[in-house]
């Protein structure tokens, strides 16, 4: 997993890029996605959306929650706002097949459904275009280029039922079949297995989105809430660019971040120091990842080593519950 370069103060510009793309998309040959088959509806939703940014710790927690949800149950009262644009600072799904990397979601309520547009990082698509160059199929180049909106790219859309419990497989059917109930056309020759893998990746994003909404709905009381919300404004240069682009330079972003569940007492400086100002009441696993260490043989150099998985146990949490899914324990015997 790699944290995106986008910050909370960058969200207004990112959304304005989406607004400009949606404005250009209102033409004779628009890019159509499930849930937003009317280009004007997408443009209107992007302009009216409240802005949110979720930090990496909250994204990890939302992923764990989403993967454990047995049913799709988006509720109208759980929406942070009827129309919103949200950027995750971390990957919202453990993707395996998709080229792009999901990073943002636009949603709007329409009757008893929730229209969701998921956007990828544009970087992988741009690099793929450069790699193929003139060898790429003209149709593929045109399709990818038409889907780029600044730092993001249009990934997929879905219509999700509101105020009801639905099987996840039924939600996935919304974009895996056409209006006649037949399997959607395999435009790039990926085969049935490739299509299923992509559909599974997309479904994981919706699971994380629901997990994010459920977390934001939790009480923000200082002694019970898991999250806190801060208003972040674009910097001065970004405000000038937004003003020239016709955007609202005064709009703020709601920065959602994990917080302590109980405020530390003055004498509880150990826990506060060990957890960077936060007091946790749970433990969690860290997946295998590379870490940079000073090279012992070369004082001026560094080496990359694999570490993990391991269990993070903050101060005072030796007997606290473990957050996330059950893990397999390997036992080594002679």
In this prediction, residue 32 carries a pLDDT of: 83
- How far apart, in whole angstroms, are the C-alpha atoms of residue 35 and residue 116? 7
Three-state DSSP string of 4-55: CCCCHHHHHHHHHHHHHHHHHCCCCCCCCECCECCHHHHHHHHHHCEEEEEC
The contacts found for 46-50 with CB under 8 angstroms, 24 or more apart, are 46/15, 46/18, 46/19, 46/22, 46/85, 46/106, 47/19, 48/83, 48/108, 49/15, 49/81, 49/83, 49/84, 49/85, 49/106, 49/108, 50/80, 50/81, 50/83, 50/84, 50/85, 50/254
The domain in which residue 316 lies consists of: 280-323
| Shared domain check, 96 and 52 | yes
Domain limit, last residue, from 208, 226, 257:
257
Look at strands 322-323 and 283-286 and give their pairing. parallel
Instruction: Tell me the pLDDT of the chain (334 aa) as tens digits.
Output: 344 578 889 999 999 999 999 999 998 888 888 888 889 999 999 999 999 999 888 898 899 889 889 999 999 988 999 999 999 988 888 776 666 789 999 999 998 899 999 999 988 888 888 887 777 677 778 888 888 999 999 988 899 999 999 999 888 877 665 544 555 665 555 666 767 777 888 899 999 999 999 888 776 544 445 667 778 888 888 888 988 888 888 888 988 877 654 444 444 433 333 334 455 667 777 777 777 767 666 655 667 777 777 787 776 677 777 776 544 444 444 4
Q: Is residue 330 assigned to a domain?
A: no
In this prediction, residue 291 carries a pLDDT of: 73
Contact 88, 103 (CB under 8 A): yes
Count up the domains in the chain and report the number: 2
| Shared domain check, 305 and 241 | no
Q: Is residue 263 assigned to a domain?
A: no
| Shared domain check, 166 and 200 | yes
Task: Please name the residues in contact with 79: beta carbons below 8 A apart, sequence gap of 6 or more.
Answer: 107, 109, 114, 213
In this prediction, residue 14 carries a pLDDT of: 93
Q: Is residue 2 assigned to a domain?
A: no
Q: Is residue 67 assigned to a domain?
A: yes
Contact 190, 140 (CB under 8 A): no
| Shared domain check, 231 and 293 | no
| Shared domain check, 180 and 308 | no
Q: Is residue 270 assigned to a domain?
A: no
């Amino acid at each position: 997993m790699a944290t995106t370069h986008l910050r909370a103060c960058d969200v207004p510009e990112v959304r304005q890029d989406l607004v400009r793309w949606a404005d250009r998309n209102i033409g004779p040959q628009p890019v159509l996605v499930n849930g937003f088959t009317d280009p004007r509806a997408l443009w209107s939703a992007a302009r009216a959306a409240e802005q949110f940014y979720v930090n990496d710790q909250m994204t990890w927690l939302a992923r764990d929650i989403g993967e454990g949800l047995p049913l799709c149950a988006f509720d109208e009262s759980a929406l942070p706002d009827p129309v919103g644009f949200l950027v995750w600072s971390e990957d919202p799904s453990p993707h395996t097949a998709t080229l792009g990397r999901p990073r943002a979601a636009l949603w709007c309520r329409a009757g008893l459904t929730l229209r969701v547009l998921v956007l990828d990082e544009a970087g992988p698509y741009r690099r793929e275009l450069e790699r193929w160059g003139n060898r790429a199929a003209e149709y593929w180049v045109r399709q990818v280029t038409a889907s780029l909106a600044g730092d993001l790219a249009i990934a997929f859309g879905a219509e999700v039922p509101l105020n009801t419990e639905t099987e996840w497989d039924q939600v996935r059917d919304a974009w895996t079949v056409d209006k006649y109930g037949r399997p959607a056309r395999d435009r790039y020759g990926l085969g049935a297995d490739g299509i299923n893998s992509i559909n599974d990746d997309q479904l994981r994003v919706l699971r994380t989105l629901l997990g994010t909404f459920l977390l934001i709905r939790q009480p923000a009381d200082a002694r019970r809430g898991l999250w806190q919300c801060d208003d972040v404004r674009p910097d001065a240069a970004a405000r000038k660019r937004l003003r020239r682009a016709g955007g609202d330079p005064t709009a703020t972003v709601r920065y959602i971040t994990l917080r302590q569940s109980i405020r530390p007492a003055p004498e509880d400086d150990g826990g506060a120091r060990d957890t960077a100002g936060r007091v946790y009441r749970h433990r969690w696993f860290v997946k295998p990842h590379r870490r940079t260490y000073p090279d012992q043989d070369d004082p001026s150099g560094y080496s990359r080593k694999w570490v993990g998985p391991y269990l993070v146990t903050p101060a005072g949490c030796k007997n606290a519950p473990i957050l996330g899914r059950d893990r397999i324990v390997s036992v080594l015997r002679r």
